[in-house]
Amino acid sequence: MRIKELRLSGFKSFVEPVRAPIEEGLTGIVGPNGCGKSNLLEGVRWVMGVNSPKAMRGGEMDDVIFAGTNSRPSREHAEVTLVLDNAEGKAPAPYTHDETLEISRRIRRGLGSTYRINNREVRAKDVQLLFADASTGANSPALVRQGQISELISAKPENRRRILEEAAGIGGLQARRHEADLKLRAAEANLTRLDEVLGEIEALAASLKKQARQAERYRTVAGELRRVEALLFHRRLDEARTHVAAADAQRREAARAVAQAAEKASVAQGVAMEAQAKVAPAREEEMIAAAVLRRLEGVRVGLERDLKEAEDAIARLGTEAERLGAERARDERFASDARDALTRLERERGALAAMADAPAALKTAEEKFTAAEKIRVAAEARLEAAAAALAAGKAETQALVRAAGEARQRLARAEERLAALKRERAGAALPADHAARGVALADALTAARAKAEAADAARAQAETAAASAEKEERALFDPMRKAEARAGEIAAEVRALEKLTAQAAAQKFPPALNAIKARPGYERAAAAALGDDVNAALDPKAPLRWAGAGATAKISWPEGAEPLSQFVDAPKELAARLMLCAVVEQTRGAALMAQLKPGMRLVSREGDLWRWDGFVREAGAAPLGAAARLEQINRLEQAQADRKSAEAAMLEAQRLYEQARGSRERAEAALKVARSAAPAAQAAMLEARGALERHEAEAERMRARLAALESQEGALQAERAEAETALKAGEAAAAAAHDPQAAEAALAGARGDAE
């Protein structure tokens, strides 16, 4: 093969279509740099199947399309065609006998490349193999580009080997060998995978066999289990009946026990009432004891207060004793001073006595001293008596004043406590509407109890209704689903049959079969009688048609044969054919065939045919297509009728189910309302009961408090009387006491005399 011509259009710088003829001998292209000489070689390589954009000096393969200039718009496609001369027939099959090969590659922007050989689209691989068989190609060293000489000089052994293989003409064989190796490896991988799949299938088959055995065993065990369950349920039914009888007997016994318990309860209630009557005096005694205890507690508090006051008085008396001790010490100092004076006077007397000339003066002084001593002693005695009287009067006066003050304080405290007790008693009195409130609370409790019982009864009734509605819904669900499935199956069958009928009617010349109607069971007989002629049309324009025939004389059929026209409705064009056909039993057809006259035919319902001229066609050889078509027509009518009844049954089942579901939803809503109302009613009853109990407890507490306050009031009245008596006695004693001012004046006079 030899390259004859190169055509470029929209390829790189060749925006307009260009033809480059390559004549025999040496063809050269001369031009300045940048005129596109290298683009011609790249066009040859590109059409030979280059797949690398770098080999085309671009970033992507769309870069080979003319990109446009300032004055020329870009192109959307590029095409390169290489014309080869195959006059010697060296091209590989199937191009061996083609004198010229036109190999083209066309690329559209963003859509990729397409290859054609002689205007027939091929794969890129086919083009590459074609050039490989010709010992050339896009990467062949025969196409020398810039820098390839130096690459060939420094080429590796593998690249030199490729050059030698291309020179020897076995490049295509090597490519095919490589492809065959890839296919063999892929086939080996597929075989390995097939072995794995077979292993999986065998394992799955073994598992399915095991599951089948298990299913068979399950069916056996399930059957036995159902039988045993039936026996068990029967036994449980008997036991339940026995339990019902026993429960009935227990119920009667329980009724008798309830009656006896009611009698005992009435007796116990009487005993409780008697005990409650006995409890009232004991409770009164308890309240009296509590009042006495509180009174004693008040006395104890008063005694403790008196003890504290006595301790305070002892402290004051101790202070007074210290004061008196100080006065006594002062008196003792006075006495000491008097003794010192006396001693001094004694010394002076001694001195005077020593004097010879003073005896008379001494005697006179002694007499004066004795008289003065007597006066001093008497004055000191009066001083001591006056001081003692003053101290005793002060102590007595202070004691009386203190006792009167204490009595006055006790009286004030008693009156204050008595006033507070009266106020507390007035506040602790039962309100005027206490009894009315108790009656109202009791009535509210009775009403709440009635509402709670009604709510419980409504909830139980709603639960029963909801359970019944749910059971009814479940019972109607399966029939509805079965009716829907049945209607869906029949509708699908009708659609399929209508589609088949529509396909037959859509023909240009519908066959006469479309107009034939056979009675159910006689479809094969009609198909056997009409044969392949039933596919002929009734249209006068059809090339194969039924044109009709004249009337035929009345035909006499052998005994046991019935005219086929009685069982088949057909157009008038087929009337003559049907008049010559009769239906017989399959076992009698061969015997009656000898009695047939020219043109007459016998058929069986199974599809057998016996003709007057001795032709016989058994049921297995009859044209089943026409019979199936007639059966489809009959089945379509029957299916349409069945669809109406199935749809009616489905609608009725759906209506019943929707009605049951609505009842169930209403019952569930009522149950929800009843369940929400029951706790509220119970809570209201408990609240009413609690309010009544709190009311009764409050009344009992207030009555006990009033009794305690009355007892405390009596104790405080007695304590106030005692305080008033003590106050009067203290005031009288204080009034009768001596005058402290006179005692102090006497004490001062006695002290002056003593000094």
Residue 140's pLDDT band, with cuts at 50, 70 and 90, is low
- From residue 451, alpha-carbon distances to 388, 443, 500 in Å are 93, 12, 71
Mean local confidence (pLDDT), 662-685: 81
623 pLDDT above the threshold of 60: no
What is residue 238's three-state secondary structure?
helix
Single-letter residue type at 481: R
Mean local confidence (pLDDT), 401-421: 71
Long-range contacts (CB closer than 8 Å, 24 or more residues apart) made by 426-434? 428/702, 428/705, 428/706, 428/709, 429/702, 429/706, 430/699, 430/702, 430/703, 434/699
What is residue 8's three-state secondary structure?
strand
Higher pLDDT, 147 or 286: 286
Amino acid 659: pLDDT: 86
83 pLDDT above the threshold of 70: yes
Q: Are strands 616-617 and 609-611 parallel, antiparallel or unpaired?
A: antiparallel
Mean local confidence (pLDDT), 123-149: 67
**Which tens digit of pLDDT belongs to each residue from 267-312?**
776 676 677 667 666 666 666 666 667 666 766 776 677 677 767 7
Higher pLDDT, 78 or 712: 78
Single-letter residue type at 509: F
Residue 91's pLDDT band, with cuts at 50, 70 and 90, is confident
193 pLDDT above the threshold of 80: yes
Rounded Cα distance, 3 and 390, in Å: 169
- Print burial letters for 252-266: b (CB count within 10 Å at least 16), e (below 16): eeeeeeeeeeeeeee
Amino acid 367: pLDDT: 77
364 pLDDT above the threshold of 60: yes
Residue 12 near residue 42 (C-beta atoms within 8 A): yes
Residue 127's pLDDT band, with cuts at 50, 70 and 90, is confident
Mean pLDDT of the chain: 76
**Which tens digit of pLDDT belongs to each residue from 526-537?**
777 777 776 777
Residue 258's pLDDT band, with cuts at 50, 70 and 90, is confident
Lowest mean pLDDT among 45-54, 139-148, 361-370: 139-148
**Which tens digit of pLDDT belongs to each residue from 479-493?**
888 888 888 887 777
**Which tens digit of pLDDT belongs to each residue from 414-472?**
777 777 767 766 665 666 676 777 788 788 888 888 888 888 888 888 888 888 888 88
**Which tens digit of pLDDT belongs to each residue from 548-601?**
765 556 778 888 888 888 888 888 777 778 788 899 988 888 888 888 888 888
Report how far Cα 565 is from the mean position of its chain's Cα atoms.
Answer: 72
Q: Are strands 120-122 and 517-518 parallel, antiparallel or unpaired?
A: unpaired
Task: Please give the DSSP secondary-structure letter assigned to residue 61.
Answer: G
66 pLDDT above the threshold of 60: yes
Residue 528 near residue 490 (C-beta atoms within 8 A): no
Higher pLDDT, 631 or 316: 316
**Which tens digit of pLDDT belongs to each residue from 674-683?**
877 777 877 8
Mean local confidence (pLDDT), 615-632: 67
Higher pLDDT, 144 or 384: 384
Amino acid 392: pLDDT: 65
Amino acid 409: pLDDT: 74
Helix extents (H) in 17-123? 37-47
Higher pLDDT, 335 or 462: 462
Rounded Cα distance, 334 and 699, in Å: 80
Mean local confidence (pLDDT), 12-27: 81
Higher pLDDT, 444 or 413: 444
- Print burial letters for 213-247: b (CB count within 10 Å at least 16), e (below 16): eeeeeeeeeeeeeeeeeeeeeeeeeeeeeeeeeee
Rounded Cα distance, 315 and 312, in Å: 5
Mean local confidence (pLDDT), 357-370: 69
Whether this model's pTM surpasses 0.75: no
DSSP per residue over 561-613, as a string?
Answer: -EEGGGTEE--GGGHHHHHTEEE--TTTHHHHGGGPPTT-EEE-TTS-EEETT
98 pLDDT above the threshold of 70: yes
386 pLDDT above the threshold of 70: no
171 pLDDT above the threshold of 60: no
**Which tens digit of pLDDT belongs to each residue from 694-703?**
877 777 777 7
Amino acid 549: pLDDT: 65
What is the phi/psi pair of residue 50, to 5°? Answer: -65, 135
Q: Which H, E and C letters describe 367-431, residue by residue?
A: HHHHHHHHHHHHHHHHHHHHHHHHHHHHHHHHHHHHHHHHHHHHHHHHHHHHHHHHHHHHHCCCC
9 pairs with which residues across the strands? 79
Closest CA to 56 of 140, 135, 145, 131: 145
238 pLDDT above the threshold of 80: yes
Lowest mean pLDDT among 60-69, 151-160, 237-246, 499-508: 499-508
**Cα torsion angle, 480, 481, 483, 487, sign:** positive
146 pLDDT above the threshold of 70: no
> Looking at 249-385, which runs of residues are DSSP E strands?
none
Amino acid 47: pLDDT: 83
Amino acid 82: pLDDT: 86
Amino acid 429: pLDDT: 61
Residue 227's pLDDT band, with cuts at 50, 70 and 90, is confident
Mean local confidence (pLDDT), 385-414: 67
